[in-house]
């Protein structure tokens, strides 16, 4: 028996309901959306990401009221906001701190999905929308980073846009199109402003809505990885589910309170966060004639930047050998003409790597590190979803993967050296081995039997 969403028939709400599905939408997605009763603190970060998104939009609107997207006025307009606009310093710091905190909560949200198998059937599309949101956030942060028109903003954009020129055939024209000029200039600033303020936010909001609609269609995952829709009472209500409102709206309020306390402490006492949130060089006006000693992206890009920087000529040879071995392995396992696609692809990639520069393959490695996330639902072949019921060595692999990613993030903030480059190369190999080896290692070991009902202790 399906759950019926009754609507108001009298008063103002009734008048609206007869013309717009207000009450039924509220019930379907909030008050009668049944979520698993065993959510833990890892489930705070989805709602926190939504909170930070609202913060970024609202503070961004107020910042655009006084910001000038002009190469001669951009830096001084930011200073004007900080020094002259009433509470302008607070709005600017809420926006700059919010950018970093956005990535903090999104990384933790994605890690929770990785732990509990939230990308597995039937939530593949939820995960894909989430990865698309992550890509949009990276684009939004990149375009917004140029807007203060400081030294690090200018030269960071120069370096990143120049990377596209390494793409064979179309690279030079593509980088020219992105800049709108032969160098980063006023034209670049204007188009980055348009992307940051209008284009990317529209796409981002659309993806967030799609992410939530897809989630509410299939239902939320839980730490046990059990589908609560499998067991319902005669009224069609999941036996292990509780309404999102008021239970989880109050539950999330506690997470919001703790988050806002940390958020406020950073804004008022350490908005630069030792140079990780706001770099010292970005408090210096952009100077095309003076290059900073070390050009590095903001901390949330540094793991991918370390992979890019680690892709040297010797490392490219290592990658060619690994790809050739993977192609040989695929050839041995191929049992039909249709399965020869992977060996042929491996040969083509090795030949392409032999005749192209390592700079281009650094861009490929950096992009591949993000694109790999999209294929996670089909790479993981484990018979259970949650890490709770997987073998111990699976948990070790997850730990090594996280450690490698954090190490890459740390190395990306430091100047390059032979030792750091070698460590970054090892960590990059671990990162990709985690995904490429998933079809094999996720099947191995002795798995625990998940319970038929979710484990829950009321508190």
What average pLDDT does the segment 106-128 reach?
95
Q: What is the pLDDT of residue 1?
A: 43
Q: What is the pLDDT of residues 257-295, one digit of tens each?
A: 999 999 999 999 999 998 889 988 899 999 988 888 888
Residue 175 and residue 198: Cα distance in Å, rounded? 21
Please tell me whether residues 359 and 403 are part of one structural domain: yes
Please tell me whether residues 61 and 149 are part of one structural domain: yes
- Is a pLDDT exceeding 60 seen at residue 147? yes
Domain membership of residue 458 (yes or no) is no
Q: What is the pLDDT of residues 343-385, one digit of tens each?
A: 777 777 777 777 777 888 888 999 999 999 999 999 999 999 9
Please tell me whether residues 53 and 129 are part of one structural domain: yes
Give the end of a domain, one of 267, 295, 323.
Answer: 295
Residue 242 and residue 232: Cα distance in Å, rounded? 12
CB 447 within 8 A of CB 384: yes
DSSP at 10: S
What average pLDDT does the segment 388-407 reach?
96
Nearest Cα neighbor of 323 from 433, 425, 427, 397 is 433
Which pLDDT band holds residue 458 (cuts at 50, 70, 90)?
Answer: low
Mean pLDDT of the chain: 90
Q: Which residues are annotated as a binding site for heme b?
A: 95, 109, 196, 211
- Is a pLDDT exceeding 90 seen at residue 32? no
- Look up residue 107 and give its two tokens: 């990384």
Helix-, strand-, coil-residue percentages of the chain, each rounded to 5 = 70, 0, 30
Q: Which residues are annotated as a binding site for a ubiquinone?
A: 216
Q: What is the pLDDT of residues 313-340, one digit of tens each?
A: 888 888 888 888 887 877 777 665 556 6
Please tell me whether residues 28 and 150 are part of one structural domain: no
Lowest mean pLDDT among 114-118, 249-253, 259-263: 249-253
Q: How many domains does the chain have?
A: 3
The residue segments making up the domain with residue 413 are 302-451
Q: What is the pLDDT of residue 2?
A: 47
Q: Which residues are annotated as a binding site?
A: 95, 109, 196, 211, 216
- Is a pLDDT exceeding 70 seen at residue 132? yes
């Amino acid at each position: 028996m399906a759950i019926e969403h009754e609507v108001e028939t009298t008063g103002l709400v009734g008048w609206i309901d007869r013309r717009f599905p207000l009450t039924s939408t509220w019930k379907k997605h909030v008050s009668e959306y049944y979520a698993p009763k065993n959510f833990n603190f890892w489930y705070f970060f989805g709602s926190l990401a939504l909170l930070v998104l609202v913060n970024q939009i609202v503070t961004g609107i107020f910042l655009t009221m006084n910001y000038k997207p002009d190469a001669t006025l951009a830096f001084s307009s930011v200073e004007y906001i900080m020094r002259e606009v009433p509470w302008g310093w607070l709005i600017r710091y809420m926006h700059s701190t919010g950018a970093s905190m956005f990535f903090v909560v999104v990384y933790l949200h994605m890690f929770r999905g990785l732990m509990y198998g939230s990308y597995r059937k039937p939530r593949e599309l939820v995960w894909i929308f989430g990865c698309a949101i992550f890509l949009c956030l990276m684009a939004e942060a990149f375009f917004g980073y140029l807007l203060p028109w400081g030294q690090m903003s200018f030269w960071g954009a120069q370096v990143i846009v120049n990377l596209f020129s390494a793409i064979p055939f179309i690279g030079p024209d593509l980088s020219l199109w992105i800049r709108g000029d032969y160098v980063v200039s006023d034209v670049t600033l204007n188009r980055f402003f348009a992307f940051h303020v209008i284009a990317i936010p529209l796409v981002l909001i659309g993806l967030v809505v799609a992410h939530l609609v897809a989630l509410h269609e299939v239902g939320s995952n839980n730490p046990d990885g059990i589908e609560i829709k499998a067991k319902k009472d005669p009224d069609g209500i999941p036996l292990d589910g509780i309404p999102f409102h008021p239970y989880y709206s109050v539950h999330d309020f506690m997470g919001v309170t703790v988050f806002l306390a940390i958020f406020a402490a950073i804004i008022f006492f350490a908005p630069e966060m030792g140079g990780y949130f706001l770099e010292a060089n970005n408090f210096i006006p952009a100077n095309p004639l003076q290059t900073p000693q070390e050009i590095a992206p903001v901390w949330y890009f540094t793991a991918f930047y370390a992979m890019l920087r680690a892709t040297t000529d010797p490392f490219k040879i290592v990658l060619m050998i690994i790809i050739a071995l993977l192609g040989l392995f695929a050839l041995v396992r191929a049992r039909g003409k249709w399965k020869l696609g992977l060996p042929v692809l491996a040969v083509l990639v090795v030949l392409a790597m032999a005749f192209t520069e390592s700079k281009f393959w650094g861009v490929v490695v950096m992009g591949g590190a993000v694109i790999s996330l999209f294929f996670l639902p089909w790479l993981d072949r484990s018979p259970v979803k949650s890490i709770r019921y997987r073998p111990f060595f699976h948990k070790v692999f997850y730990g090594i993967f996280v450690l490698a990613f954090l190490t890459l993030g740390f190395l990306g903030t430091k100047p390059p050296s032979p030792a750091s480059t070698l460590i970054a190369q090892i960590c990059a190999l671990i990162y990709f081995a985690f995904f490429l080896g998933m079809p094999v290692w996720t099947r191995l070991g002795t798995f625990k039997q998940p319970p038929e009902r979710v484990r829950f202790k009321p508190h």
